[in-house]
């Protein structure tokens, strides 16, 4: 079984994100692997370890952060990595990325695509599903367990509205996984050192056999118009002391200051 | 008496003993190297205080009776050794004695008196020891045949010597010395028997026997004494009583300058080390020779487990068994370990690549058949340790348990990648944001907002760096301690700054958990930052940061004077820069943090501060000072669940509650969390406040 896993580099949402003039301030930000994609990688590696799957990882985007992310995938146990690095990809949305991934899929001979169900930067949750649509493959989203039945079939559990749904799928297929599917391993020194030596297959759009126009880069279906910082919440007021006094005080404030009574 | 028989006995006994010892020493030499050849003076001092003075045996109130027992047996034994040399001489020549110990010297009389009385005391101690083992049965000791055998042999040595002297006395005094035995007789000092009351007692016991019987007893007791002693010598290396021989060298060779051997700075870039799996300890042959000597020396007295927070709370770590398992594994691999060392030396001399490959294959075939972690030592056992060092502090023969445990954890983490996965969250937090909570690094200085604290990047021209630490920066409870400390420093007019977002975890917990890679990453970045600002003096409220910055950063080129806030505040009080008021209500107590007390010898300053602010007096906890009880958070345990046995912090909190105090002071953010959580579990958080020293000072300063 050949598995393609997609990984996205996202801003570390543990950090304070500042907005100035409708744009995010880049200074001081750091980028990390999307948590859902990290789970996707772990899923792929476990399938490699337990079911002899072959694993490939793809990252769309250039730069050192993306390279580091692929190396992290290697250190976790992924066997080969593809980096799509093209200046034309600076602007894009889920449709564009899904199109690029479609091209990557078509260049290989994959049985299963595993993506994170969403990314913590935009929280769109679209790319994997659109990719399945482009490829005409069955897709199960929000997957929390995968079991291999045979070379052609897998059984997955997904978190549905009413509870856990168990779905049998014929391969090839696309699944998007939830973070609860596993606890991604933390690569240790030995794996990290070995990962440093592995080659990465870096391609631009031309090498991938496509173009800015074909992937829809020139006619984006959605665009970010402006970033706005959420309004800061004022700190609440704490009342301590005698219950009767406090009640009177609070009622007074609600009536006179908040004017809700 | 009989030069031929004496020669034969000595030759046989020493040959067998020599062979055993050569093997034991060969094994030590085959283990990893470690340098212990420095500071001779300090080492000799340790011998005098710890070994000859038996400090850790007689010095502990809790163990005083058994301590005194052991000390007298030890001292008596040492004194008797001189007498024994005389006896060996007598085997060749009647009346032989060492120089200055004869009948013409006062020293001879003094010695014979001392020896006589000590023999009596040792006999009493032996009886007490047997009574203690058989009747009192302290929980910490295992009753073994070996223990009784050795006690019986020591008893035999004493009895035989006393009866030998007793028979001699009878022959001389009652029967006119028929065999013309030589004895001390001096016009000035009198007869030697005036000086030996115990021997005279022994003589009285056999005074009813005939001259022949007394003569026979004298001869039999002589040879019994010699034979017992030579047998004893040969039995020692075979069991736990090897400590009779190894304890002195072990104390002499103990770590100096830092309470135990510092974790080795591993060269993680060394590819050969990865290939040979030589980072950390994953196999028994990877112990260093001092660790081997520790195992030889362990007397299985069980003092270590008795003070161990994990053993007390029913965790699987039992240091007595831990040592024993390692010793057995080491002894099972004697041949292979010695052979391996020879082959390794051969590789260094060989230049033939093919031959080297062949030797390498041979070497890897010599690995122990047992997995060190998993089969010899269980995983849960290895990871239970909080690295609190209580065990090392009480060990009479200065065995270092913790460095071994850390090295084994290194082996597990680095080589086998087998470590508790629950550490991953904290490690990932370290990797991404430089703190185990994983909170955005850019929020590190948020606690200081509004406090008007200088940041190094803005103004590096200050006297002190306040190293806040991750807890002080991110943990809501500990942030209050940081705030209090800032107010104190400001009040005292100290010029200081913080690193702000540039500070990262020191890597303490990562290193204790065996993750040397993460430790070195953190240390390297921190040292770069600190050296960049030319930092010289650091104040910190976290003993873990203190310990790492002070003792471990020098390994990587970071040399700073690091001061714990309790020490610093104490200094400010002494200098009159801060005035304390005795306004803290109720009685106070103090919980010694392991990394402040046992690791860094700071015991008095926090107590002095607490006493200065306490209105209701200061109460010492049952377990305090060097024998304080861990909160359960050290050694990376802060970031792991405690699922086996009773929670350590609960055990400690109950002890605090029993003291009926109104507040417990701590000097460590981990202790603060653990003790406060314990108080919450006991529903005592309202009646017994857990406070850091800094908070106590801030609230009670003029």
What pLDDT was estimated at residue A260?
Answer: 81
In a domain, B266, yes or no: no
Decide if B517 and A183 are in contact by the 8 Å CB cutoff: no
Q: Distance between alpha carbon B515 and the CA centroid of its chain, in Å?
A: 23
What pLDDT was estimated at residue A62?
Answer: 85
Final residue of a structural domain among B542, B574, B606: B574
Give the C-alpha separation, B362 to B165, whole Å. 59
Average pLDDT over residues B483-487: 97
Contacts of A189 in chain B (CB under 8 A): 268, 414, 516-517
Per-residue pLDDT band for B272 (boundaries 50, 70, 90) equals confident
Best of B269, B280, B517 to substitute, by most chain A Cβ atoms within 10 angstroms, is B517
In a domain, B33, yes or no: no
Average pLDDT over residues B381-390: 97
What pLDDT was estimated at residue A69?
Answer: 94
Dihedral sign computed on CA atoms, order B130, B132, B135, B139 = negative
Which 8-state DSSP code applies to residue B615?
S
Contacts of A185 in chain B (CB under 8 A): 421, 424
- CA of B203: how far to CAs of B165, B169, B170, B220, in Å? 7, 6, 6, 15
Decide if A185 and B428 are in contact by the 8 Å CB cutoff: no
Residues whose CB is less than 8 angstroms from the CB of residue B317 and which lie 6 or more positions away in sequence, other chains included: B308, B310, B311, B380, B381, B382, B384, B385
Q: Does residue A168 have a pLDDT over 90?
A: yes
Residues whose CB is less than 8 angstroms from the CB of residue B61 and which lie 6 or more positions away in sequence, other chains included: none
A132-144 pLDDT, tens per residue? 999 999 999 999 9
Q: What value, to the nearest 5°, has the Cα angle with vertex A42 and ends A158 and B408?
A: 135
What pLDDT was estimated at residue B162?
Answer: 95
What pLDDT was estimated at residue B154?
Answer: 95
What pLDDT was estimated at residue B350?
Answer: 83
In a domain, B383, yes or no: yes
In a domain, B362, yes or no: no
Contacts of A30 in chain B (CB under 8 A): 432, 441
Domains and CATH numbers, chain A: 2-203 (3.40.50.620)
Decide if A16 and B440 are in contact by the 8 Å CB cutoff: yes
What pLDDT was estimated at residue A22?
Answer: 86
Q: Count Cβ atoms within 10 A of the Cβ of residue B360 and give its class: 0-12 exposed, 13-18 middle, 19 or more buried.
A: middle
Whether residues B93 and B169 share a domain: the answer is yes
Average pLDDT over residues B122-145: 93
Residues whose CB is less than 8 angstroms from the CB of residue B674 and which lie 6 or more positions away in sequence, other chains included: B631, B632, B633, B638, B648, B649, B652
What pLDDT was estimated at residue B633?
Answer: 96
Give the C-alpha separation, B694 to B700, whole Å. 10
Which of these, B150, B87, B88, lies nearest to B122 by C-alpha position? B150
Tell me the CATH number at B443: 3.40.50
The backbone region for B646, taken as left when phi is positive above 0, alpha when psi lies in -120 to 50, beta otherwise, is beta
What pLDDT was estimated at residue B318?
Answer: 93
Shortest distance between the Cα of B424 and any Cα of chain A, in A, equals: 6
Interface contact B427, partner A, CB < 8 A: yes
Tell me the CATH number at B397: 1.10.1060
Whether residues B55 and B159 share a domain: the answer is yes
Q: Distance between alpha carbon B276 and the CA centroid of its chain, in Å?
A: 31
Residues forming beta bridges with residue A143, ordered by sequence position: A158, A177
Longest dimension (CA), chain B: 100
Whether residues B144 and B219 share a domain: the answer is yes
Average pLDDT over residues B573-597: 95
Which of these, A122, A118, A123, A138, lies nearest to A178 by C-alpha position? A118
- CA of A191: how far to CAs of A10, A45, B472, in Å? 23, 13, 33
Number of residues written out for chain A: 261
B183-211 pLDDT, tens per residue? 888 899 999 899 999 999 999 999 999 99
Whether residues B305 and B403 share a domain: the answer is yes
Contacts of B438 in chain A (CB under 8 A): 14
The answer to whether B490 and B532 are in contact (CB under 8 A) is: no
Q: Count Cβ atoms within 10 A of the Cβ of residue B691 and give its class: 0-12 exposed, 13-18 middle, 19 or more buried.
A: buried
The residue of chain A with its CA nearest to that of B435 is A14
Decide if A191 and B417 are in contact by the 8 Å CB cutoff: yes
Whether residues B396 and B496 share a domain: the answer is no
Q: Indicate the residue of B424, B427, B440 with minimum beta-carbon distance to A12.
A: B440
In a domain, B620, yes or no: yes
Shortest distance between the Cα of A188 and any Cα of chain B, in A, equals: 7
B653-683 pLDDT, tens per residue? 999 999 999 999 999 999 999 999 999 999 9
Enumerate the H helices of B47-105 as residue ranges: 55-58, 64-92
Q: Indicate the residue of B274, B421, B516 with minimum beta-carbon distance to A193.
A: B274
Interface contact B440, partner A, CB < 8 A: yes
Shortest distance between the Cα of A1 and any Cα of chain B, in A, equals: 27
Decide if A185 and B421 are in contact by the 8 Å CB cutoff: yes
What pLDDT was estimated at residue A139?
Answer: 96
Which of these, B348, B519, B274, B636, lies nearest to A193 by C-alpha position? B274
B625-647 pLDDT, tens per residue? 999 999 999 999 999 999 999 99
Q: Lowest-pLDDT range, A6-15, A143-152, B34-43, B350-359?
A: B350-359
- CA of B595: how far to CAs of A78, B400, B524, B631, B671, in Å? 41, 16, 22, 11, 10
Instruction: List, as ranges, residues 261-290 from B with C-beta within 8 Å of A.
Output: 268, 271, 274
The residue of chain A with its CA nearest to that of B425 is A186
Measured distance between the N- and C-terminal CA atoms of chain A, rounded to whole angstroms: 66
What total number of domains does chain B contain? 4
Shortest distance between the Cα of A261 and any Cα of chain B, in A, equals: 35
Decide if A16 and B443 are in contact by the 8 Å CB cutoff: yes
Per-residue pLDDT band for A256 (boundaries 50, 70, 90) equals confident
Best of B273, B440, B444 to substitute, by most chain A Cβ atoms within 10 angstroms, is B440
The residue of chain A with its CA nearest to that of B521 is A189
Whether residues B492 and B554 share a domain: the answer is yes
Q: Give me the DSSP letters along B301-361.
A: --HHHHH-HHHHTT-S--HHHHHHHHHHHHHHTHHHHHHHHHHHHHHHH---HHHHHHHHH
Q: Does residue A163 have a pLDDT over 90?
A: yes
Q: Which residues of A make CB contacts under 8 Å with B?
A: 12, 14-16, 28, 30, 32, 183, 185-186, 188-193
The residue of chain A with its CA nearest to that of B446 is A16
What pLDDT was estimated at residue A155?
Answer: 97
The answer to whether B148 and B130 are in contact (CB under 8 A) is: yes
Measured distance between the N- and C-terminal CA atoms of chain B, rounded to whole angstroms: 83
Cis peptide before B410 (omega within 30 of 0): no
Shortest distance between the Cα of A179 and any Cα of chain B, in A, equals: 14
Where in the sequence is the domain holding B380, given as residue range(s)?
A: 271-318+327-346+371-418
- CA of B654: how far to CAs of A177, B493, B587, B589, B625, in Å? 46, 40, 16, 13, 18
Q: Does residue B578 have a pLDDT over 80?
A: yes
Q: Indicate the residue of A32, A183, A189 with minimum beta-carbon distance to B414.
A: A189
Give the C-alpha separation, B604 to B593, whole Å. 13
Average pLDDT over residues B134-142: 90
Shortest distance between the Cα of A74 and any Cα of chain B, in A, equals: 16
Whether residues B247 and B283 share a domain: the answer is no
Give the C-alpha separation, B367 to B280, whole Å. 15
Give the C-alpha separation, B467 to B470, whole Å. 9
- CA of B293: how far to CAs of A6, B30, B287, B317, B365, in Å? 54, 12, 10, 21, 25
Q: What value, to the nearest 5°, has the Cα angle with vertex B140 and ends B136 and B141?
A: 70
Decide if A186 and B438 are in contact by the 8 Å CB cutoff: no
Decide if A190 and B417 are in contact by the 8 Å CB cutoff: yes
What pLDDT was estimated at residue B226?
Answer: 95
Give the C-alpha separation, A76 to A88, whole Å. 30
Which of these, A132, A200, A213, lies nearest to A172 by C-alpha position? A132
Residues whose CB is less than 8 angstroms from the CB of residue B137 and which lie 6 or more positions away in sequence, other chains included: B143
Whether residues B409 and B480 share a domain: the answer is no
Which 8-state DSSP code applies to residue A243?
H
Whether residues B219 and B142 share a domain: the answer is yes
Decide if B417 and A188 are in contact by the 8 Å CB cutoff: yes
Q: Does residue B238 have a pLDDT over 80?
A: yes
Q: Say what the pTM is.
A: 0.92
Best of A17, A24, A186, A192 to substitute, by most chain B Cβ atoms within 10 angstroms, is A186
Average pLDDT over residues B355-374: 90
- CA of B562: how far to CAs of B478, B502, B604, in Å? 20, 18, 17
Decide if B442 and A189 are in contact by the 8 Å CB cutoff: no
Interface contact B513, partner A, CB < 8 A: no
What pLDDT was estimated at residue B349?
Answer: 86
Which 8-state DSSP code applies to residue B268?
T
In a domain, B309, yes or no: yes
Decide if A186 and B424 are in contact by the 8 Å CB cutoff: yes
In a domain, B28, yes or no: no
Q: Which ipTM did the prediction report? A: 0.86
Which 8-state DSSP code applies to residue B443?
G
Neighbours of B47 (CB within 10 A): 17
Q: What value, to the nearest 5°, has the Cα angle with vertex B276 and ends B271 and B277?
A: 95
Give the C-alpha separation, B111 to B114, whole Å. 5
B60-93 pLDDT, tens per residue? 988 899 999 999 999 999 999 999 999 999 999 9
Interface contact B222, partner A, CB < 8 A: no
The answer to whether B388 and B630 are in contact (CB under 8 A) is: yes
Per-residue pLDDT band for B431 (boundaries 50, 70, 90) equals very high
Per-residue pLDDT band for A229 (boundaries 50, 70, 90) equals confident
Residues whose CB is less than 8 angstroms from the CB of residue B600 and which lie 6 or more positions away in sequence, other chains included: B543, B546, B547, B550, B564
Decide if A30 and B439 are in contact by the 8 Å CB cutoff: no
In a domain, B218, yes or no: yes
Whether residues B342 and B489 share a domain: the answer is no
Decide if B439 and A28 are in contact by the 8 Å CB cutoff: no
Reported in sequence order, the residue ranges of A173-244 that DSSP labels E, i.e. its strands, are 173-177, 201-203
The answer to whether B609 and B697 are in contact (CB under 8 A) is: yes
Checking DSSP bridges between strand A112-116 and strand A31-33, what pairing results, if any? unpaired
Whether residues B408 and B455 share a domain: the answer is no
Contacts of B641 in chain A (CB under 8 A): none
The answer to whether B523 and B265 are in contact (CB under 8 A) is: no
Percentage of residues in chain A having pLDDT higher than 70: 100
Decide if A188 and B268 are in contact by the 8 Å CB cutoff: no
A40-68 pLDDT, tens per residue? 999 999 999 999 999 999 999 888 999 99
Average pLDDT over residues B591-616: 96
Q: Count Cβ atoms within 10 A of the Cβ of residue B106 and give its class: 0-12 exposed, 13-18 middle, 19 or more buried.
A: exposed
Decide if B432 and A188 are in contact by the 8 Å CB cutoff: no
Give the C-alpha separation, B379 to B384, whole Å. 9
The residue of chain A with its CA nearest to that of B430 is A186
Looking at every residue in chain B, the average pLDDT score rounds to 94
The residue of chain A with its CA nearest to that of B415 is A190
Final residue of a structural domain among B418, B448, B478: B418
CB pairs under 8 A between A and B: 46
Whether residues B389 and B448 share a domain: the answer is no
Decide if B432 and A28 are in contact by the 8 Å CB cutoff: no
Shortest distance between the Cα of A217 and any Cα of chain B, in A, equals: 32
Percentage of residues in chain B having pLDDT higher than 70: 100
Residues B565-580 as b/e (b if ≥16 CB within 10 A, e otherwise) read: bbbbbbebbeeeebeb
Per-residue pLDDT band for B133 (boundaries 50, 70, 90) equals very high
What pLDDT was estimated at residue B354?
Answer: 87
Shortest distance between the Cα of B251 and any Cα of chain A, in A, equals: 36
Q: Comparing B49 with A242, which gets the higher pLDDT?
A: B49
What pLDDT was estimated at residue A113?
Answer: 97
Q: Does residue A261 have a pLDDT over 80?
A: no
Per-residue pLDDT band for B217 (boundaries 50, 70, 90) equals very high
Decide if A12 and B427 are in contact by the 8 Å CB cutoff: no
Residues forming beta bridges with residue B564, ordered by sequence position: B540
What pLDDT was estimated at residue A217?
Answer: 85
Q: Indicate the residue of A12, A185, A189 with minimum beta-carbon distance to B517.
A: A189
Per-residue pLDDT band for A89 (boundaries 50, 70, 90) equals confident
Decide if A14 and B439 are in contact by the 8 Å CB cutoff: yes
The residue of chain A with its CA nearest to that of B432 is A32
Final residue of a structural domain among B418, B442, B474: B418
Q: Does residue B146 have a pLDDT over 80?
A: yes
């Amino acid at each position: 079984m050949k598995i393609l896993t997609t990984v996205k580099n996202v801003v570390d949402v543990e950090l304070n994100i500042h907005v100035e003039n409708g744009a995010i301030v880049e200074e001081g930000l750091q980028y990390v692997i999307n948590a859902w994609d990290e789970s996707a990688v772990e899923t792929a590696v476990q399938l490699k370890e337990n079911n002899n799957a072959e694993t490939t990882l793809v990252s769309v985007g250039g730069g050192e952060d993306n390279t580091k992310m692929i190396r992290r995938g290697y250190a976790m146990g992924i066997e080969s990595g593809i980096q799509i690095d093209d200046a034309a990809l600076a602007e894009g949305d889920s449709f564009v990325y899904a199109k690029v991934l479609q091209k990557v899929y078509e260049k290989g001979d994959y049985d299963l695509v595993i993506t994170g169900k969403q990314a913590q930067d935009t929280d769109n949750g679209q790319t994997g599903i659109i990719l399945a649509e482009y490829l005409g493959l069955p897709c199960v989203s929000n997957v929390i367990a995968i079991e291999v039945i045979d070379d052609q079939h897998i059984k997955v559990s997904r978190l549905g509205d009413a509870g856990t749904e168990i779905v049998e799928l014929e391969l090839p297929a696309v699944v998007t996984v939830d973070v609860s599917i596993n606890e991604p391993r933390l690569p240790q020194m030995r794996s990290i050192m070995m990962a440093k030596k592995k080659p990465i297959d870096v391609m631009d759009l031309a090498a991938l056999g496509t173009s800015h126009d074909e992937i829809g880069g020139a006619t984006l279906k959605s665009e970010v118009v402006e970033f706005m910082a959420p309004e800061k919440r004022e700190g609440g007021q704490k009342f301590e002391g005698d219950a009767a006094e406090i009640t009177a005080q609070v009622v007074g404030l609600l009536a006179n200051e908040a004017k809700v009574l | 008496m009989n030069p031929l028989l004496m020669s034969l006995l000595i030759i046989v006994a020493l040959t067998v003993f020599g062979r055993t010892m050569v093997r034991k020493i060969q094994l030590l030499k085959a283990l990893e190297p470690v340098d212990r050849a420095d500071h001779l003076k300090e080492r000799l001092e340790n011998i005098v205080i710890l070994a000859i003075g038996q400090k850790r045996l007689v010095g502990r109130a809790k163990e005083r009776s058994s301590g005194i027992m052991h000390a007298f047996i030890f001292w008596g034994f040492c004194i008797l050794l001189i007498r024994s040399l005389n006896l060996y001489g007598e085997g060749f020549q009647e009346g032989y004695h060492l120089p200055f110990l004869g009948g013409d010297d006062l020293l001879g009389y003094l010695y014979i008196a001392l020896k006589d009385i000590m023999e009596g005391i040792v006999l009493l101690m032996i009886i007490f020891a047997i009574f203690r083992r058989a009747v009192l049965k302290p929980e910490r000791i295992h009753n073994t045949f070996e223990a009784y055998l050795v006690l019986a042999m020591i008893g035999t040595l004493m009895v035989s010597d006393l009866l030998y002297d007793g028979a001699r006395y009878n022959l001389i005094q009652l029967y006119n010395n028929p065999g013309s035995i030589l004895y001390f007789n001096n016009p000035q000092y009198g007869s030697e028997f005036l000086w030996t009351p115990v021997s005279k007692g022994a003589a009285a016991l056999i005074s009813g026997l005939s001259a022949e019987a007394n003569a026979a007893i004298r001869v039999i007791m002589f040879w019994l004494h010699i034979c017992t002693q030579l047998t004893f010598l040969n039995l020692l290396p075979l069991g736990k009583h090897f400590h009779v021989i190894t304890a002195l060298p072990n104390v002499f060779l103990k770590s100096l300058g830092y309470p135990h051997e510092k974790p080795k700075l591993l060269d993680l870039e060394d590819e050969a080390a990865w290939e040979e799996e030589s980072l950390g300890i994953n196999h028994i042959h990877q112990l260093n020779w001092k660790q081997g000597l520790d195992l030889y020396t362990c007397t299985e007295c069980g003092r270590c487990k008795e003070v161990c927070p994990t053993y007390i709370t029913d965790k699987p770590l039992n240091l007595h068994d831990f040592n024993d398992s390692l010793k057995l594994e080491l002894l099972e691999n004697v041949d292979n370990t010695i052979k391996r060392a020879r082959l390794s030396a051969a590789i260094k001399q060989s230049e033939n690549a093919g031959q080297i490959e062949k030797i390498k294959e041979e070497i890897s075939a010599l690995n122990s058949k047992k997995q060190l972690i998993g089969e010899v030592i269980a995983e849960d056992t290895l990871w239970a340790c909080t690295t609190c060092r209580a065990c090392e502090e009480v060990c009479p023969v200065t065995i270092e348990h913790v460095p071994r445990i850390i090295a084994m954890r290194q082996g597990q983490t680095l080589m086998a990648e087998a470590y508790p996965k629950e550490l991953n969250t904290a490690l990932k937090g370290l990797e991404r944001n430089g703190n185990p909570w994983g909170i955005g690094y850019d929020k590190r200085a948020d606690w200081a907002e509004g406090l008007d604290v200088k940041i190094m990047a803005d103004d590096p021209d200050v006297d002190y760096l306040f190293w806040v630490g991750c807890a002080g920066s991110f943990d809501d409870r500990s942030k209050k301690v940081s705030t209090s400390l800032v107010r104190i420093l400001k009040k005292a007019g100290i010029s200081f700054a913080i690193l702000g977002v540039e500070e990262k975890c020191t890597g303490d917990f990562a290193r204790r958990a065996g993750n040397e890679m993460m430790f070195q990453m953190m240390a390297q970045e921190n040292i770069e930052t600190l050296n960049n600002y030319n930092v010289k003096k650091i104040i910190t409220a976290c003993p873990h940061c203190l310990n790492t910055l002070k003792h471990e950063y020098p390994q990587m080129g970071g040399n700073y004077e690091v001061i714990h806030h309790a020490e610093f505040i104490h200094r400010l009080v002494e200098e009159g820069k801060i005035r304390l008021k005795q306004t803290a209500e109720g009685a106070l107590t103090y919980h010694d943090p392991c990394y402040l007390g046992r690791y860094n010898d700071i015991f008095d300053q926090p107590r002095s501060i607490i006493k200065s602010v306490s209105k209701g007096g200061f109460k010492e906890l049952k377990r305090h000072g060097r024998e304080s009880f861990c909160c359960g958070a050290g050694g990376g345990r802060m970031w792991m669940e405690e699922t086996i046995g009773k929670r350590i912090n609960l055990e400690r909190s109950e002890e605090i509650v029993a003291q009926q105090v109104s507040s417990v002071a701590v000097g460590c953010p981990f202790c603060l969390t653990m003790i406060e959580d314990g108080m919450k579990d006991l529903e005592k958080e309202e009646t017994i406040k857990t406070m850091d020293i800094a908070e106590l000072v801030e609230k009670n300063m003029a």
